[in-house]
Each structure stands twice: as C-alpha cells, then as structure tokens.
Structure 1
Amino acid sequence: MDITTITSFRPARSRSDLRLNEGEVFIAGGTWLMSEPLPGTTGFVDLTTLDWPEIELTDDGLRVGATCTIARFLAWSEGRAADLPPVPAEWAAAHLVADAAHALLASFKIWNTATVGGNVCRSFAAGAMISLGAALDATAVIWTPDGGERRMPVAEVPTGNGTNVLAPGEVLRALEFPASALRSTVRLRKIALAELGRSGAVVTGRVDEDGASVFTLTAATAAPTVLRFAALPDAATLAASVGSVSGYYTDPLGSADWRRGVSIEFAERIRAELEEAV
C-alpha cells in the first residue's frame, strides 16, 4: 500500500539515531506497517541499517537479533544457513522454530521480509514468534530512549491482542533463549478454522532436563498464558489448569468456547506425547 503521509525516511546507524521526531516510527521488515494507512505517521526510521547480528551463540544460549527475518531464523534452525553458527546438537528444541514459523499465516515473501522482532512487537495473539518465545522462556532485550536497557520475558511483552508494554521510543533489540530450554523436549499443536487461516489456538508443551514441565497457550488467549508444573501433570490436572485460564476470546477466527475446548484437547495430546518421549 502507498503510505501517502510519509515525508521522511532515516537509516539508523547508531543509538543516537533512534531518537524519534514527532510523527516518526521505527520500521524493519515493514510487512504490517506497509499494509494499511498510518494516519499521523510522517516518517520511518530504519532499524535494519544498524546491522545487528542475526544469530549469536552465547554462554547462556541463543541470541536472535530483532531484525533477523523469520526466513533466516528458520534456515538457521534447519541447518540451511552456512554463514551462521551451526545449531548445537544438544539443542533438541530447535525444531520449534519451524513449527512456530509454519503457524504464521504468511507467504514465503512475507517470511523473507518480516522480522522476528516485528512479529513480537506487533503483538497479535497469533504471533508465531511470540508462541516460540513464550514456549522456550525467551527474554526480550529492550532498548530505552534514555540509552538504557531493560529485560522481560517475551511472554509478558503482549498485554492483549495487538497491544504491548513497549513505551514510545523503546526498541526491541533481541530475543535471548536459555540453553536449558533449548535442550528440552518440546511439542507444538495448532489449529485454524480455515485450512489456510490464521491460527485460532497454538499450544506448546515442554519437559526440561530436571523433569519440570511448561505448557503455553497463544492465539487462543488474548495474551500468552504460561502454565508451569514441577513435573509432567496428569491428564485431569492439566485439563483443569488449561480450562480455568482467563483470556479466551471470540472473534471471526473462533469463539472463546471453541478456543478453550481445542486448547484442552491439544494440551492433553502434547502431554501424552511428552510422557512417551521422556
């Protein structure tokens, strides 16, 4: 779409370039920003020119730059990016990147442009990278306008369907995934009312090396829901926990009751798979 209100475009080269003038917004892939009118927006500040590393392996796990495209993240996870560090063999949960990416309603053209950080910052309930980050206890690294930095769980960034905690001028710098979660056994299930429709419910479950388990609900609830257990719960306990969650909502993509029902069903299927796997 032609955004007729835009009169300026600035490439950011350093943090000092991230001070927004009135009417400016940040842009990276721009797949949402360029899809509809933006009244009141008069300028774009390009984050991709900061040249943040796409994938970094650290002592603590994995760091993904917010401007890394979903296509590049997927290629790395599948061993198809020769110029990026290889996936450590013990990171059994790396396959979840592909599972989450395929839960995103988007063509390959969108994958090659949309960024990991943009998907999180748009904060739609069905955001695929939100599902991934919440499932693997990722941390959002956020740059603040005063030159500082703050961190919080990716699961806590969205506050509703399309809303989040980011203050004006804040920038999502990276997502950090702990190695312990990447070594876990994990499963994902998703469903949409239409064959090629946006996900109406995405449920993930994982079992860590210490036996603790984590189940997450996204798309079905307006904001991510994370359920933690000291061990893999029995069927009744899990069903009661998933069923009692608040935040199931109704929209053209599914009713609240339907989202609740399929979430309970998928959580149990995942629980059974994890029970066999571990």
Structure 2
Amino acid sequence: MDLNTVTDVVRRPSDRPGADWRPGDAWLAGGTWLFSVEQPDLRRLVDLTALGWESLVPGEAGLGIGATCAIRELYGHELPEEWSAGSLFRPSCEAFLSSFKVWSAATVGGNICLSLPAGPMITLTVALEARYELWAPDGSVRTVDALDFVTGDHRNILQPGEILRRIDIPAHALRKRAAHRRFSLTRLGRSTVFLIGTRTPGASDLLLTVTAGTTRPVRLAFDALPDARTLWRRIDALPAGLWFADPNGTPDHRRHLTHHFAEEIRRELMAGGPA
C-alpha cells in the first residue's frame, strides 16, 4: 500500500537513530505490516536495515538475534545439536500468517513489536526465556524479560522513539526438552492458540507458555511436573478478561483448546516422547 503521508525516508540513519526521533516517525525494517494498512499519522520512515545489525550470534551464553533478522534467516539457521529446544524455531516460523515469500522481508523484531496475540516470535522468545535489549532516544539501554514486553493486543512497553535492538536467548533454555502445540482454523491461518512447554534435562520442572489464545503471553512455571488436575486448575485460574476473542475463536474455545493441548504437552514431556 502507498503511504501517501510520508514525505521523507532516512536511508542512512546514525548508529543510534533514536536521538533523531520525532513525532510522525516509524522504524522501518521488513515493513510487511507497515505497508499493509493505512498509516495516516506517519511523516517519515527510518530504515534500520542500513545499520547492518548482525542477525544471529551464537555463543557460550546462548543465541543473540538482531531485531532486523529476517524470518528466512532464522528458519534456515543451523543450531548446535545440544540446543535441543532449537527444534521450536522452524514451527514458530511456519506459524506466520504469510507465505514463505514474505519471510525474506519480515523480521523477528518487527513481529515482536507488532505485539499481536498470535505473533509467533513472541511465543518462541517468551518460551525460551529471552531478554530484549531496548535502546531509548536519550542513548540509555534497558533489558527486559520477553514475558513483560507485550502488555495486550497490539500493545507493549516501548516508549516513543525506543527501539528493540536485540533478543538474547540463554543457553540453558536452548538445552531444554521442548514440546509445542498449535491450532488454527485453516492450515495456513492465524493461530487460535499456540503453546510451548519446556523441561530441564534431568529435572522435573515444567515451563508452559500460552499465547495466541490470550491477549498477552502467559508463562506457567512448575518446580515439579504437575498432575493433570493441578495443570487444569492453573489454567482455569487465569483471569477471564485475559482470553482473546476474534473471528478465529471465542474465549471459551481458546480456554478449552489450551486445556487440551497443555495436557498433551505435559504427557509428552513426562514420558520423554510424543504423547
């Protein structure tokens, strides 16, 4: 879509572009959402891809992902064998409501900052206990837990001019066993629910992440693997207003699916194989 209110595009921003932020600006990375709908308040686009942020940086501490990393790059990246939770990367990319052709433009950071309930990069990074590095216009940097970033449907904690610079996934989370379940009304449709469970090798813990069915990500932590009744009660205790409603599912439908898939994940991780 043409953005006919935009009068300027900054192709070569400074290394800390937030200092030049002004009302009417928008950060441009992949632009797959930005150019899909009218943006009447925009006057200027600032192209972050020109900054050359490294896309994927594996190390002993874990995996760093530049916010401008394209989904195609994440999908095709070969992870160390000991990072068993890396098996989540491809199904998370495949959960996008888009064709594979869009993956060359769409970015990890863009999907997170859009902050839709069904954002699969939100699901992935919350489930893997990631932290986000945010750059403020005054040059300061803050780091937040991925769980705390999205606050509701299309809402997050970013302040005007603030940039998501980097996503850091810790090595201990990447070494966990993982299981996921996702439901959509059509094979390539938007997620109605998307759940990921992880368990530390040699331990009996469970970390269950619930997204798409809720307006913001939910992380249920158990020091010991719960029985079916305990898990059911924790899900049922979630506030009624937290469940999301749109044409892809009612709150009751999403709660029902969450109960069903959470139990499948619990059994799979308890047994050490598919349920």
**Same fold by TM-score greater than 0.5:** yes
Q: Are the counterparts in 1 of residues 18 and 135 from structure 2 also a CA contact under 8 Å?
A: no
- Shift of residue 58 of structure 1? 2.7
Match of 1:274 in 2: 269
Alignment of 1:67-216 (within 5 A): 67-76=68-77, 79=78, 87-209=79-201, 210-216=203-209
For residue 27 of structure 1, what is the amino acid of its counterpart?
L
- Shift of residue 16 of structure 1? 4.5
Q: Are the counterparts in 1 of residues 22 and 161 from structure 2 also a CA contact under 8 Å?
A: no
Encode CA deviations 1:177-198: one digit per residue, 9 max, x unaligned. 0100000000110001233320
Which range moves more in the overlay, 231-240 or 26-35? 231-240
Cα 1:146–1:233, aligned 2, differ >3 Å: closer, same or farther? Answer: same
Task: Write the distance in 1 (CA, Å) between the matches of 2:183 and 2:65.
Answer: 27
Match of 2:10 in 1: 10
Q: SS of the residue aligned with 1:237?
A: helix
Structure 2 alignment gaps of length 5 or more: none
Task: Write the distance in 2 (CA, Å) between the matches of 1:138 and 1:236.
Answer: 29
Match of 1:84 in 2: none
Match of 2:67 in 1: 66
Task: Write the distance in 1 (CA, Å) between the matches of 2:83 and 2:209.
Answer: 19
* Pairing 1:252–2:247 present: yes
Moved over 4 A (4+): none
Equivalent pairs: percent with the same residue?
A: 40
Task: Write the distance in 2 (CA, Å) between the matches of 1:196 and 1:88.
Answer: 29
Task: Write the distance in 1 (CA, Å) between the matches of 2:20 and 2:59.
Answer: 29
Structure 1 alignment gaps of length 5 or more: 80-86
Task: Write the distance in 1 (CA, Å) between the matches of 2:19 and 2:51.
Answer: 10
- Shift of residue 129 of structure 1? 0.2
TM-score scaled to structure 1, two decimals? 0.94
For residue 201 of structure 1, what is the amino acid of its counterpart?
V
Q: SS of the residue aligned with 2:191?
A: coil
Task: Write the distance in 1 (CA, Å) between the matches of 2:160 and 2:266.
Answer: 40
CA RMSD in angstroms comes to 1.3
- Shift of residue 18 of structure 1? 4.9
Q: SS of the residue aligned with 2:189?
A: coil
Match of 2:56 in 1: 55
Aligned length: 269
* Pairing 1:262–2:257 present: yes
Task: Write the distance in 2 (CA, Å) between the matches of 1:89 and 1:18.
Answer: 41
* Pairing 1:225–2:226 present: no
TM-score scaled to structure 2, two decimals? 0.95
For residue 245 of structure 2, what is the amino acid of its counterpart?
T
